[in-house]
Amino acid sequence: MAKLRNYLRVYRRRWYLTQGELAFLLDYEAESFISRLERDERAITLAAASACHALFGAELQELFPALMEGLEEGLVARMQELNARLLQSEPTQKTASKLEMLQEAMARLSAPAEKQEV
């Protein structure tokens, strides 16, 4: 389990980038944005997260473990809730399709953990 909430600073420093340089690369106007992102005082945008992934070649789970874990947990909980609701509703073709999609998604989300155990 990751000890830090996000690893943006770790990756930035590993490549000796200054906060100003990373701000430029991520198209932020001020380096204080990077400082706030690194200290987890500001939520990262999808554009910036994708840029970090492209820049450092690291998965988002590695770069922002706490954020991704939170997103995943919330999503799984909501999927389970919808799954339960759908199971109680009328079994139509649409419902079956939704249930199939939810089960595939839940299997995908649990797959990385299984891979690590091997």
Partner 1 sequence: MSRPHGALILAFYPHARGFSYVVFEGPLSLVDWGMSDVPAKRKTATCVRRLSFLLDQYRPDAVVIRQIREGRLAKLSEAITEFVESRRIVVAAVSREKIREVFAHLGSPTRYAIVQAVAKQIPVLAPYVPPVRKIWYGEDRRMGLFDAAAMALTFYQGNGAAVRV
Q: Could you list the residues that contact partner 1 (CB under 8 A)?
A: 1-4, 7, 9-11, 13-14, 16, 39, 58, 62
Q: In the complex, what is the shortest distance from the CB of residue 22 to partner 1, in angstroms, rounded to a whole number?
A: 15
Q: Which is nearer to partner 1, 9 or 98 (CB)?
A: 9
Q: In the complex, what is the shortest distance from the CB of residue 98 to partner 1, in angstroms, rounded to a whole number?
A: 34
Q: Which is nearer to partner 1, 11 or 28 (CB)?
A: 11
DSSP string, 1-67: --SSS--HHHHHHHTT--HHHHHHHTT-S-HHHHHHHHTT-SPPPHHHHHHHHHHH---HHHHSHHH
Q: Which is nearer to partner 1, 91 or 112 (CB)?
A: 112
Q: In the complex, what is the shortest distance from the CB of residue 24 to partner 1, in angstroms, rounded to a whole number?
A: 21
Q: How far apart are CA 53 and CA 8, in angstroms?
A: 10
Q: In the complex, what is the shortest distance from the CB of residue 10 to partner 1, in angstroms, rounded to a whole number?
A: 5
User: DSSP class of residue 90?
Assistant: -
